[in-house]
Amino acid sequence: MITKWPSPGKLNLFLHIIGRRSDGYHNLQTLFQLLDYGDTLLVENDRSGEIILLKSLSGVVDEKNIIVRAAKLLRDQAKLCSKLPDRVGATLKIEKRLPIGGGVGGGSSNAATVLVALNYLWDINFSVEQLAALGLKLGADVPVFIYGLSSFAEGIGELLTPIVLPNKWYIVIYPNVSINTFQIFNDPFLTRSTPYRQLRDLLLGESHNDCESIARHYCNELEQLINWVGLHAHPHLTGTGSCVFAEFPTKVLALQTLSLVPKRWAGFVARGINLSPLYNITMPRFEKKVK
């Protein structure tokens, strides 16, 4: 039987880089805002022993697709723990709405949803903490989608503090170009010394995205998009992607601005949420931990 699973997007409301680690990764402070807008994952589990991806991603070999890697990682780990029979498989399909390379968490969210869905469908019963540890092997943003809570993040993005944020409306615009995360984080001019601040100070004071100036330098289309959004609201870059967002007090105002977006760009309106649609599956265990 085919089952449907939500895969929500996110925004980085700010992204401060406070240092570079010896392993090449960066220590940061960021605020993840989950959205009520995202992809849908279709999953059918079976006894084929294969992980099959319907509708491959252009330019990406299926074996390197993050959702296939997530499924295989979970299967292999479960077998090591004797939680799965030898022949277990699944067919996966993504109904995409989130732009690829936009910084709205599409790939990371998809991987998290695969882990949560197959953990349930294969009856593995790994804890949320175990799933988050597996997700971290796939990407620093995966754990926040597994826990399913808007969160303040530190470390490389894996040290999460759940936070309740106002349910604001956002317009998110994609300039139809991707930003290379590796290139951004390895640029010699990237700011890596933003002072560490307590969460309370970050919420009350000014914040920014340290990657924005570098991304604008590499991508003229992004520069034009930020300037255009600036005519209507206060623009922000999300993560290291190319999507630009702005907040609005009402859905009507956000939709009015969306209607003005030049046709060469794509966009959507979403509301910030504090609980992921995966909450009912993941959160009961997590709540016990944080009480």
- And the tokens for 179? 């930003």
Closest by CA position to 74, among listed 42, 48, 51, 55: 51
Those residues whose C-beta lies under 8 Å from the C-beta of residue 59, and which sit 6 or more positions away, are: none
Token readout for 60 is 């990406």
Q: How many CA atoms lie within 13 A of 278 on its CB side?
A: 36
Catalytic sites, residue numbers: 10, 141
User: What is d(CA 266, CA 172) in angstroms, rounded to the nearest whole number?
Assistant: 9
| Nearest C-alpha neighbor of 241 from the set 211, 217, 262, 207 | 211
Strand (E) positions, 120-265? 151-154, 159-162, 169-174, 236-237, 244-248
181, 137, 140: which is closest to 160 by C-alpha?
Answer: 140
Phi, psi of 95 (to 5 degrees): -95, 105
Collapse the DSSP code of 27 into the 3-class scheme (helix H, G, I; strand E, B; otherwise coil) and give the result. Answer: strand
Binding site: residue ranges? 99-109
Q: CA angle, corner 121, sides to 115 and 123, nearest 5?
A: 95
**Closest by Cα among 270, 273, 269, 272 to 257:** 269
Task: Give the span between the Cα atoms of 161 and 24, in whole angstroms.
Answer: 24
Which residues belong to the annotated binding site for ATP?
99-109
Helix (H, G, I), strand (E, B) or coil at 96: coil
